[in-house]
Structure 1
Amino acid sequence: MQTELNKVIAAVRDFYAHEGFLFEKDVGERAVTHRFAVYLEKQFAGWSVDCNYDRLGERTLHLPHGTIISTDDHLGKSIYPDVVVHQREIPNNLLTVEIRKASNHTPLEHDRHKLRALTDAHVWFAYWIGVLLVLDKQHVTMSEVYVSGVVDEPLSRWFATRLESGLGAAH
Structure 2
Amino acid sequence: MQTELNKVIAALRDFYAHETFLFEKDIGERAITHRFAVHLEKQFSGWSVDCNYDRLGERTLHLPHGTIISTDDHLGKSIYPDVVVHQREIPNNLLTVEIRKASNHTALDHDQHKLMALTDAHVWFAFWIGVLLVLDKDNVTISEVYVSGVLDQPLSRWFATRLEEVGLGMAR
Please report how far the alpha carbon of residue 120 of structure 1 lies from its aligned counterpart in structure 2 after TM superposition: 0.3
TM-score normalised by length of structure 2: 0.96
Please report how far the alpha carbon of residue 71 of structure 1 lies from its aligned counterpart in structure 2 after TM superposition: 2.3
Partner residue, 1:142: 142
Question: Structure 2, unaligned stretches of length 5 or more?
Answer: none
- Where has structure 1 moved over 6 Å in runs of 4 or more? none
Q: SS of the residue aligned with 2:95? A: strand
Among the aligned pairs, what percent are the same residue? Answer: 88
Please report how far the alpha carbon of residue 90 of structure 1 lies from its aligned counterpart in structure 2 after TM superposition: 1.7
RMSD: 0.8
Question: Structure 1, unaligned stretches of length 5 or more?
Answer: none
Residue identity opposite 1:57 in structure 2: G
Please report how far the alpha carbon of residue 165 of structure 1 lies from its aligned counterpart in structure 2 after TM superposition: 1.1
| Alignment check: 8 A CA contact 1:7 1:44 kept | yes
TM-score normalised by length of structure 1: 0.96
Kindly provide the CA deviation profile for residues 116-169 of structure 1, in whole angstroms up to 9, marking residues without a partner as x. Answer: 00000011010000000000010000100000000110000000000111235x
Structure with higher RCO (Cα < 8 A, 6+ apart):
1
Partner residue, 2:126: 126
| Alignment check: 8 A CA contact 1:64 1:117 kept | no
Please report how far the alpha carbon of residue 74 of structure 1 lies from its aligned counterpart in structure 2 after TM superposition: 1.4
Q: SS of the residue aligned with 1:65? A: coil
Partner residue, 2:96: 96
Structure holding more helix per residue:
1
Please report how far the alpha carbon of residue 92 of structure 1 lies from its aligned counterpart in structure 2 after TM superposition: 0.7
Partner residue, 1:28: 28
Moved more, 69-78 or 111-120: 69-78
Residue identity opposite 1:133 in structure 2: L
Please report how far the alpha carbon of residue 91 of structure 1 lies from its aligned counterpart in structure 2 after TM superposition: 2.6
Structure-to-structure mapping, 1:1-171, within 5 angstroms: 1-167=1-167
In structure 1, what is the Cα distance between the partners aligned to 2:167 and 2:131?
17
